[in-house]
Structure 1
Amino acid sequence: MRIYLAGPEVFLPDPLAAGAAKKAICAKHGMVGVFPLDAPAPMPSGPPDWRRIHAANEAHIQGCDVLVANLTPFRGLAADPGTVFELGYMRGLGRPVFGYTHVPHDYRTRVGEARHDGAAWRDAEGLEVEDFGLAENLMLEGAIAASGGVLLRAEDGLGWQDLTLFEACVMAVRRKLVGEL
């Protein structure tokens, strides 16, 4: 089973080490991890710019059986938009998606200035804020649930390098899709 390792780890100071650590966990559980910075075969042709990176990542996703996404808020209140796209793309292919987040608080709580106006929670600009007790936008959690996946949430905040929930997610993939050996 090939797992696409979606998440903002590509932006860490040593992304290749982060990818290698995740791939080692996948191998430990009898699966193959595919990190976004791995060179796909065949490598998309064209200039080595953002379009080639996009094409390579889509090729990786198409070549995988399942996706595990790090949905920890990145540079703001919510998950990395590239990771969100990858999750949706895999779901659009009809394949299972799983996720985890290192932040224990639900989305509405993370919108710090949200106030209840008697009918709904609203942010500082008066826009409604989802209040379903979910870790992320309902479309992400809905996609994960509809595909048979799970979203794991930390009980306490975890750092970017912590792989505890990632490994738990890989184990959930194995239980749900591969079965125990």
Structure 2
Amino acid sequence: MKVYLAGPDVFLPDPLGIAERKRAICAAHGLTGIFPVDAHPQHPEEAELPRWLWIYRRNEAHMRDADAVIANLTPFRGPSADAGTIYEVGFMRALGKKVLGYSNVAADFVPRTLGFLGDAARRDAAGRWRDAAEMAVEDFGLADNLMIDGGIGEAGGVLVRREVPQAERWTDLVGFETCVRMLAAR
């Protein structure tokens, strides 16, 4: 089984190091990990594309070639998961592939969002949280936006949440390996 390894890991100081660790965990369980920066055949017409568009096409090709995705949904530069990773989760869900995710932050979406908003967050007359623009704060006790948790759940997947020390947030792979074990057991 080929597994697309989605997440903001590509932005780490050593993305290839984390990729190798993830691939090794996959291999130990009989799976093949595909990291977003892995080579993929480039069509001659793609040589003229802007780099960002070529990366997009390569990643989408990797996802089409994969049987499943395991997404690192640890909050990235804010209270929510990385936007590109969220796209990849939705894309794989739409393709009918297996979808699993993990987060190295256990807290629900609401407290993370309130922490991000700071003093701008307040409760309205009905007790619902609002931001400075009077927009409601989604409050369902989930790991992230309901579309992420819902999509993973409806795909028969799981979203593993663990609290790890801040210094290990991007390198701790216990949640990832939990997803790998679950996927391999299917």
Q: Which amino acid aligns with 2:145?
A: N
State the alpha-carbon separation in 2 of the partners of residues 35 and 16 from structure 1: 9
Question: After superposition, what is the alpha-carbon deviation per residue over 1:146-167, rounded to whole angstroms, capped at 9, x for unaligned?
Answer: 0000000014455211111110
Tell me the residue number matched to 1:125: 133
SS at match of 2:80: coil
CA distance in 1, matches of 2:65, 2:9: 20
d(CA) in 1 for partners of 2:61, 2:72: 19
Paired residue for 2:123? 116
Q: Summarize the alignment of residues 65-76 of structure 1 with structure 2, pairs less than 5 Å apart.
A: 65-76=67-78
Matched, 1:138 2:137: no
1:29 corresponds to: 29
Query: Which residue pairs with 1:168 in the alignment?
Result: 178
State how far apart, in whole Å, the 2-side matches of 1:124 and 1:171 are. 43
Measure the CA separation in 2 of the matches of 1:167 and 1:115: 38
Q: After TM superposition, which residue ranges in structure 1, 4 or more long, deviate above 4 angstroms?
A: none
Shift of 1:49: 0.5
1:131 is paired with a residue of what secondary structure? coil
- 1:124 Cα deviation after fit: 2.7
How far is 1:132 from its partner? 0.6
> 2:164, 2:172 within 8 Å by CA — same for their partners in 1?
no
Q: What is the CA deviation profile of residues 15-60 of structure 1, one whole-angstrom value per residue up to 9, with x for unaligned ones?
A: 11111110000000110000000001x2243236001000000000
- Aligned equivalent of 2:91: 89
Q: Could you list the per-position Cα deviations for residues 47-81 of structure 1 after superposition, in whole angstroms to 9, with x for gaps in the alignment?
A: 36001000000000000000000000111111100
Which secondary structure state, in structure 1, belongs to the residue aligned with residue 47 of structure 2?
coil
| Pairing partner for 2:81 from 79, 82, 86 | 79
1:46 is paired with a residue whose SS is: helix
Partner Cα separation in structure 1 for residue 42 and residue 177 of structure 2: 29
Instruction: Report if the CA contact (8 A) 2:8-2:76 is conserved.
Output: yes
Letter paired with 1:142: G
In structure 1, the partner of 2:47 is: 46
Q: Secondary structure at the match of 1:149?
A: coil
The within-5 A match list for 1:93-112 is 93-111=95-113, 112=115
Q: Report what 2:58 is aligned to.
A: 56
Higher helix share: 2
- What is the percentage of aligned positions where both structures have the same residue? 53
Return the letter of the residue paired with 1:24. A
**Count of equivalent residues:** 175
Counterparts of 1:145 and 1:3, CA distance in 2:
18
Structure 1 unpaired stretches of 5+: none
Distance in 2 (CA, whole Å) between partners of 1:38 and 1:94 is 23
